[in-house]
Amino acid sequence: MRQIFLDTETTGLSPESGDRIIEIGCVEMVNRRLSGRTLHFYLNPERANHEDAVKVHGLTDEFLADKPLFAAVANEFLEFVAGAEIVIHNASFDVGFLDAELRRLAHPGFTSFVGQVTDSLAMARETYPGKANSLDALCKRLEVDNSSRSLHGALLDAGLLAEVYIRMTRGQNSLVIDVGDDDAAEVASVAVDLSALDLLVLVADADDEAAHVALLAGLDQASGGKTLWRRMEPAAVAMA
């Protein structure tokens, strides 16, 4: 499974009003592991930044003046994201800007080039309803170090989002065994005689038990207190 964590910085908030993308950052993950591949561009938007936008990302008109146009990097960008699942925090914002840039080049919309777009903000709101779910808030809640984030930066934010996503979906696929289509495959049972085997039993010591408790606490925190063993504890105590 190939995923691209993507973020953009822009001159303002409205592509319909002519605001443009000035930075794109992409971080690749394959099978829930960072591959080490990234893509990063600063772009000349051919227009001035809004003052409030510069306060957020710190990218001045002077800094961007000699950077390439989106048209010059479009093919490289589209090749990098092609066919992947794209994970974006508040996806409608970034996709709206990407669609506007692609329209200027007579290209179809962004989603036509990728496998799917996943909005991590929508995921966070479902997982943590009623709580702040900005990237900074999620970093704090999930203990992701964002101390280097004094200003927004597309590549930095894409990397933080990748770490947040992994923690927010911790164990999502780790306990799932894919046996394919039940109707199309038959699973054969083979009896194995284990009587001749001398099985070694390792008993957990105090350190092992403490590490296990800490792991369960981390999973419980990451799920917002929704883990099943917490719900089962009162019943287990009552039965005892």
Q: Say if CB 45 and CB 66 are below 8 A apart.
A: no
**Confidence (pLDDT) at 212:** 82
**Confidence (pLDDT) at 235:** 59
Classify the C-alpha dihedral 226-125-134-63 as positive or negative.
Answer: positive
**Confidence (pLDDT) at 176:** 33
Question: Residue 76 and residue 192: Cα distance in Å, rounded?
Answer: 54
Tokens of 61: 């008109």
**Confidence (pLDDT) at 179:** 40
Classify the C-alpha dihedral 40-41-42-47 as positive or negative.
Answer: negative
For the beta carbon of residue 42, count every other beta carbon within 10 angstroms: 17
Q: Say if CB 11 and CB 20 are below 8 A apart.
A: yes
**Confidence (pLDDT) at 7:** 98
Q: Residue holding tokens 């800007």?
A: 97
Note down pLDDT in tens along the chain; length 240 residues. Answer: 999 999 999 999 999 999 999 999 999 999 999 999 999 999 999 999 999 999 999 999 999 999 999 999 999 999 999 999 999 999 999 999 999 999 999 999 999 999 999 999 999 999 999 999 999 999 999 999 998 877 789 999 999 999 999 999 985 543 333 444 444 444 444 555 556 666 667 788 888 888 888 777 777 776 667 677 666 666 555 555
Tokens of 219: 């999973």
Please list, residue by residue across 139-174, b when 16 or more beta carbons sit within 10 angstroms of its beta carbon and e when fewer do.
Answer: bebbebebeeeeebbbbbbbbbbbbbbbbbeeeeee
Which residues are part of the catalytic machinery?
152
Tell me how far CA of residue 58 lies from CA of 16, 39, 49, 61, 82, in angstroms. 23, 20, 10, 10, 30
**What separation, in Å, do the N-terminal and C-terminal C-alpha atoms of the chain show?**
45
- Tell me the domain boundaries of the chain: 2-168, 206-239
**Confidence (pLDDT) at 53:** 96
**2-168 maps to CATH 3.30.420.10:** yes
Smallest CA-to-CA distance from 46 within 76, 24, 68, 31 is with 68
**Confidence (pLDDT) at 162:** 97
Q: Which residues contact 15 (CB under 8 A, 6 or more apart)?
A: 96, 97, 99, 100
**Confidence (pLDDT) at 186:** 45
For the chain, the residue count is 240
Give Dmax (Cα) for the chain. Answer: 78
**Confidence (pLDDT) at 148:** 80
**Confidence (pLDDT) at 197:** 61
